[in-house]
């Protein structure tokens, strides 16, 4: 299988290495910020310094016409979406299946990037989402994930069949996409809980109530709530909210220890999609009255409107609900 990978970050590199081990022919597409020749000479990446990547991987400028691949893997940070999707790129990859790894908002309002691409492009679009850290996937550690699409991704499932990443199919493109973006917001909050040393009980409460808030967003968009209890919802939330490899957890952790948002973002080795999603989620709540007190508390702490102590106090003193899941 001939595969092109858009995105030179940790997830794009890790997934490229995974596919290369299955004998796929991989070309990673680069922008003016990366030097493909250096990568091709060294087969190394600055985020994985001690690892030599598979020989089946090469890099080339995204502006080159390399012919049509069997699959385009989309791992572009969402803030760069429009820079990639110019007319030439769209024309070059028309009628090519696209597997979306990115987990963030589209350029047009509160819409997950995978769901948006599914409408914006005429290609067959598939969304991969689940509890998967690039730092583990690149070393072949066992994991499971979900691939969502309007039809079953037979060729993708076939190449991953003998890999260390087990895949499950879903036809719920919106739900799988929503799970992948919403958990980033609450991972920031979980990082704050850990950074402020509030304890494991507080973290468990944060994760559990985060799931309730995510379900309210699912309900607002008429997404399938069953998706929320699977790998693309609960599974991804647990990993991202408890794993120190999570960029969003790292961000919240640093903010809780007194760093400004700008300084904390500058310390990260990759993108925190949770910040853009949080802003979109707050805007959505203000327009629709979707009840998301945890997300609002996270936002208030980030923007120095509340201390963590005050935010916790406000959350604990909220009026009681008739039932837990309300």
CA distance 134 to 214: 24
Q: Per residue in 27-73, pLDDT tens?
A: 999 988 889 999 999 999 999 988 999 999 999 999 998 999 999 99
Among the listed residues 183, 200, 257, 287, the single catalytic one is: 183
pTM over 0.85: yes
Extents of the domains making up the chain = 2-171, 181-316
Residue linked to tokens 């950074």 = 195
Question: What tokens appear for 167 in the block?
Answer: 């895949």
Query: What is the phi/psi pair of residue 280, to 5°?
Result: -65, -35
Please state which CATH number belongs to domain 181-316. Answer: 1.10.1040.10
Is 79 an annotated catalytic residue? no
Residue 193: other Cβ atoms inside 10 A: 25
The model's confidence at residue 326, banded by pLDDT at 50, 70 and 90, is low
Q: Which residues contact 218 (CB under 8 A, 6 or more apart)?
A: 175, 178, 224, 225, 227, 228
Residue 109: pLDDT over 90: no
Pairing state between β 71-74 and 97-100:
parallel
Strand-pairing partners, residue 72, are: 4, 98
pLDDT value at residue 107: 86
pLDDT value at residue 121: 85
Percent of the chain residues past pLDDT 90, beyond the cut: 80
Q: Name the more confident of 18 and 271.
A: 18
| Of 310, 189, 202, nearest in space to 253 by CA | 189
Q: What is the mean pLDDT of residues 215-243?
A: 96
| Of 63, 116, 113, nearest in space to 93 by CA | 63
Class of domain 2-171: alpha beta
pLDDT value at residue 118: 83
pLDDT value at residue 133: 96
pLDDT value at residue 323: 77
Question: What tokens appear for 241 in the block?
Answer: 């909210």
Which residue stretches of 132-172 are H helix? 134-137, 154-160
The secondary structure of residue 63, as a DSSP letter, is T
Residues 26, 3 contacting (CB under 8 angstroms)? yes
The secondary structure of residue 319, as a DSSP letter, is P
Residue linked to tokens 């409460």 = 205
Q: In what order do the strands lie in the sheet with 2-6?
A: 57-61, 25-30, 2-6, 71-74, 97-100, 125-129, 143-148, 165-170
């Amino acid at each position: 299988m001939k595969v092109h990978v858009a995105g030179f970050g940790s997830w794009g590199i890790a997934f490229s290495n995974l596919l290369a081990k299955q004998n796929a022919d991989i070309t990673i597409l680069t922008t003016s910020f990366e030097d493909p020749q250096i990568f091709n000479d060294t087969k190394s990446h600055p985020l994985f310094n001690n690892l030599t990547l598979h020989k089946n991987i090469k890099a080339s400028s995204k502006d080159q016409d390399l012919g049509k691949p069997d699959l385009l893997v989309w791992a572009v940070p969402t803030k760069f979406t429009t820079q990639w999707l110019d007319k030439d790129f769209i024309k070059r990859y028309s009628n090519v299946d696209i597997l979306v790894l990115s987990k963030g908002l589209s350029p047009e309002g509160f819409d997950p990037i995978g769901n948006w691409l599914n409408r914006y492009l005429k290609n067959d679009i598939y969304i991969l989402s689940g509890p998967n850290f690039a730092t583990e996937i690149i070393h072949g550690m066992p994991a499971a994930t979900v691939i969502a699409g309007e039809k079953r991704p037979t060729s993708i499932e076939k190449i991953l069949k003998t890999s260390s990443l087990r895949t499950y199919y879903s036809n719920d493109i919106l739900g799988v996409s929503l799970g992948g973006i919403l958990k980033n917001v609450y991972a920031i909050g979980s990082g704050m809980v850990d950074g402020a040393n509030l304890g494991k009980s507080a973290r468990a409460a944060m994760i559990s109530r985060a799931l309730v808030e995510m379900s309210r967003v699912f309900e607002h968009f008429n997404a399938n709530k069953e998706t929320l209890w699977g790998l693309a919802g609960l599974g991804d939330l647990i990993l991202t909210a408890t794993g120190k490899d999570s960029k969003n957890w790292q961000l919240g952790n640093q903010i809780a220890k007194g760093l400004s948002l700008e300084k904390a973002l500058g310390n990260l080795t990759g993108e925190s999609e949770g910040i853009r999603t949080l802003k979109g989620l707050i805007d959505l709540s203000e327009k629709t009255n979707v009840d998301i007190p945890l997300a609002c508390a996270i936002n208030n702490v980030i923007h120095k409107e509340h201390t963590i102590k005050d935010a916790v106090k406000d959350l604990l003193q909220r009026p009681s609900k008739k039932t837990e899941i309300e």
